[in-house]
Amino acid sequence: MAALGMLGQRPGSGYDLMKILATTLATVWSASQSQVYTELVNLADAGLIDVVDIGPRGRKVYDLTPAGRTELIRWLVQPADHEPRRDGALLHVVFLGEIPAAEARTYVVAMTDHADAEVLRLCTLRDSYRWPPADDNEMYGRAALEHALRGEATTAEWGRWLIELLDRRLRSAHPPAAAGGEPPPAAG
């Protein structure tokens, strides 16, 4: 579906689509090189896109057929079916109880740092746009970027919240050496 959408904005080759996936779509959708080309063949077989031009190096420029545009619109207006959630980083967090709180803290700090770095990167990207947007497509692209940005910021904030929780737990377990968990080795 991503290929159909990209070709809906402007005709292009598989190589072009790959570049879009690596840049503007990077925060939203990913696909491997091999997948892009197979998908283009499949879409062409289904009559949704067509080769409209052949350039140097065998470059094949695709564009939507009328059927393809119809299908794109049909897909667009129907609400997205809710994909199964899978967040590897969060899965780690769920099982962090298996290791000592100090090590768990390290993990959460790394997660938070990464989220902060992403916020910075996406902010720079966002500020590189001119405002107001030149066209609708650009506006929606920016909106998606904004979503990613806010998501990372939220993760960073959540990380700091969790770190503080862990710190409280560590503080109350070390100097007084009273509350549960394993007792410190040199406690008595």
Residues in the site for a second copy, rule: CB under 8 A?
1-2, 5, 8-9, 25-30, 72-73, 75-77, 79-99, 101, 103-104, 106-107, 110-111, 114, 135-137, 139-141, 143-144, 146-148, 150-151, 153-155, 157-158, 161-162, 165, 181
Least distance in Å: CB of 91 to DNA?
11
Comparing CB distances to DNA, the nearer of 37 and 158 is 37
- HSE toward the beta carbon, residue 11, CA cutoff 13 A: 14
Interface characters, 54-93, with DNA (x: CB under 7 A) = -xxxxxx-----------------------x---------
Least distance in Å: CB of 48 to a second copy?
14
Q: Is residue 174 within the footprint of DNA (CB under 7 A)?
A: no
Whole-Å CA distances, 124 to 27, 95, 120, 129, 141: 14, 34, 6, 9, 15
If phi > 0 it is left, if psi is from -120 to 50 it is alpha, else beta; for residue 63 that is beta
How far the first Cα of the chain sits from its last, in Å, is: 65
Strand 60-64 relative to strand 49-54, pairing: antiparallel
